[in-house]
Structure 1
Amino acid sequence: MSVTIKIHKDSKLTKSTVLSTLDNFEHQGELIGTGYRNVIKILDIEDEHYNIKGFKVPNLVNKIVYRFFRKSKAERSFLYAERLLKNGILTPKPEAYIEYKSLFIFGKSYYISKQLEYDFTIRKLIDEPECDDYDNILRQFTQFTFKLHEKGIHFLDHSPGNTLIKKTDSGYDFYLVDLNRMNFKTLTYDERLANFARLSPKDYMLDIISDEYAKLINKPHEEVKERMYFFSKKFSSGFKKKEAFKKKYYFWRKKKN
């Protein structure tokens, strides 16, 4: 397979260091998460910390789609990171993306960004509802999401682990990660409110989020809260059905084998 390497103009990386790092990707670095689907690792390259995401090899159909018709997840992550930063939205600095492909099919791909040292994610607010400054953090996060919406950024994977948070002297900075699924357009009222659905089914979180967002868009709180509850429950119900189907399917496969 041939390899395509795109390095950001401000990056210190070179093609040779990137290739050398990927040659040893499986055997070095600190694994983040389980690595079940995509593999994310923190690696040092010439004394700098980098975050490298190796995307799962796509299925047969997508091998053709990504080869000829659609940008890969790695390329989209890189381009969307650049676009976010141009719009004043924080994300770890994009460094490079790499694609392996043959004449007819797409293979592996990688996205490299600068490793960001952060304090916590939104998941902390779900796991620790009594944590310090809870209300303020959640309201600032809601303001951050409103800023996304006002700039026409629809982050489709707006889930608890995909916003990294750094505490600052003046408040909190929010950084988006896992960037390959985004739309850039004017969001409708319902699209804005539904964008919070993946974050948490916890009513006490939605109460605060809806209160702050209602102020920002100048709508009645009860109206905004009701719609947010609706979209959150709809997502939770769909997620549970999907997980139940997967369990049944994998149980059947295991039993058959």
Structure 2
Amino acid sequence: MILDLLTFLIVFFHVTEDTTLSVDLEDSDSAAVKLEYGVEKRAQDTFGKGSVPDKFCIAPCPQRNFGDSDFTYNPELLYKFEVQNSSQKCTPKSSGYISTLFSHSSEEEEEKRVLNEKFRFHYPHVQITFSKIKSIKKEMLQIAKTCGLDVPTLAYAYVFYEKVVLKGLVNKSNRKLVAGAALLIATKINDHGSMGLSSIIDHIETVFRINRRDMLQLEIPLCVALDFKLHASEAEIVPHCQRIVSAQN
């Protein structure tokens, strides 16, 4: 726990030649969303009086409240779900290039719909669809390649993102902001050979089409949702590393 807290302090008082991402005293409240599993506790002065916009909160789904002891992260869960539930690919029996394209496209859309329905049935507390999770992870991979992030760094980002997704803490409004924050935290912890943080933030902002300030405001809430456990185990990281390397070959 002490190591996790030290890592947290390093991450959020991290300074580079390109950019300073330390938390200003005036801005710290804007990111201080205190989250307890089963109870969402929001500071009333976080964004002034009134409600906090959904995209700035990592909030539990009302369908399921649970304590941390109820959650065990499995890095194989999403991968195995797709393998076990995807239909076998087949070549459309239609003549003509255009008709083949339409047939193949309709098959892909139908498979996506079925997968999303099955995923929602098995994991009703998860607030985003399976296809959106896959899409976000592809964009995270794209950012990692462009920025020269190493494989373990991307794997860490996947672990952070999947954990909060599977806890039911990510919704349609904040899914890209949380993914960006996961990449940024993973980079601060692990990667020392890529481009500067400022350039990485630029790429995250461009690919996800989000506002950097909105993303930075979610860094601390994301760490709270992760219980400040920013050192993933080998068992959590290795499966992601293997799939990332396999996808690149």
* TM-score, with structure 2 as normaliser: 0.30
Normalized per residue, which structure has more strand?
Answer: 1
- Report which structure shows greater RCO (CA 8 Å, sep ≥6): 2
Normalized per residue, which structure has more helix?
Answer: 2
